[in-house]
Amino acid sequence: MPTQSSQSSTALNSFAPRLLDWFAENGRHDLPWQQHQTDTPNPYIVWLSEVMLQQTQVITVLPYFARFMASFPTVQDLAAAEWDTVAEHWAGLGYYARARNLHKGAKQLVEVIDETGEFPQTLAGWEAISGVGPSTAGAIMAMGLHHYGVICDGNVKRVLTRWAAIDGDITKSATTKELWALAERLTPTENSGLFAQAMMDMGATLCTRSKPACLLCPLKEDCLAHAQGARLIIPSKQKNSPNLVNSVMHC
């Protein structure tokens, strides 16, 4: 399986500058939860949006995010709300376990704030919050706190597997480990929040699942999948057997 070593040091080192230049000119800068243009980022806003955006497109999330912010402008407001009220605000967004985790997480965050006077300041602190995994925690650290943070969500995995021609099954731990190592290698120590937003935009607007706009991509010169004509078959994912699919559908 090709690894990040398949790319030259020149390509690895130029990845972030080219991506950030593209983002400055072509990225999305008007999303209500973006914090890269403020000196006083709000981790609550980023946490809320990141949970909503799990498995859900931006255009779908926008009205729900606005509704939540209108009713629960602070994490304390969300924590104090009745579950039925939170569920009503979430109705229609799907994946309802996220709403449960969000409400539980708000209560946990309030406990942390009451004890320390601030939101969690470490990856471990955020990963201790219900429903927050490594990529979400990295996004909050980078975009919500302006600390160093690395993300490796679905969009990022698609960009990286194509760029480095990593053809392993992305559902397997070995491939996941390789992708995280590559994401960490590429993420700059400064402006990791800006880089995270740029990576999300790249995956959402150019390096899409079925119709990647390779001619517009700032990374196309050293994208190995593009060079190999393999951009539509990377990333790969092992198909579930019928029995496994049925068991998942009925669990």
CA angle 92, 95, 100 (to 5 degrees): 100
Spell 65-91 as b/e; 16+ CB within 10 A means b. Answer: beebbeebeebbebbebeeeebeebbe
Q: List, for residues 46-69, the tens digit of each pLDDT value.
A: 999 999 999 999 999 999 999 999
- Show which of 107, 127, 144 is a domain's final residue: 144
| Domain tally, the chain | 2
The residue segments making up the domain with residue 210 are: 4-30+151-228
> Both 57 and 140 in a single domain?
yes
Q: What is the pLDDT along the chain (251 residues), one digit of tens a residue?
A: 445 457 999 999 999 999 999 999 999 999 999 988 888 999 999 999 999 999 999 999 999 999 999 999 999 999 999 999 999 999 999 999 999 999 999 999 999 999 999 999 999 999 999 999 999 999 999 999 999 999 999 999 999 999 999 988 888 999 999 999 999 999 999 999 999 999 999 999 999 999 999 999 999 999 999 999 887 778 766 654 333 233 322 33
Q: Which residue among 25, 50, 111, 190 is the active-site one?
A: 50
Length of the chain: 251
- 239 falls within a domain: no
| Spatial separation of the C-alpha atoms in residues 35 and 175, rounded to whole Å | 31
Q: Note the Cα 177 to chain centre separation in Å.
A: 16
The pLDDT of residue 100 is 98
- 245 falls within a domain: no
The pLDDT of residue 239 is 53
Q: Indicate if 50 belongs to the active site.
A: yes
- 117 falls within a domain: yes
Q: List, for residues 8-35, the tens digit of each pLDDT value.
A: 999 999 999 999 999 999 999 999 999 8
- 236 falls within a domain: no
Q: What is the CATH number of the domain that holds 197?
A: 1.10.1670.10
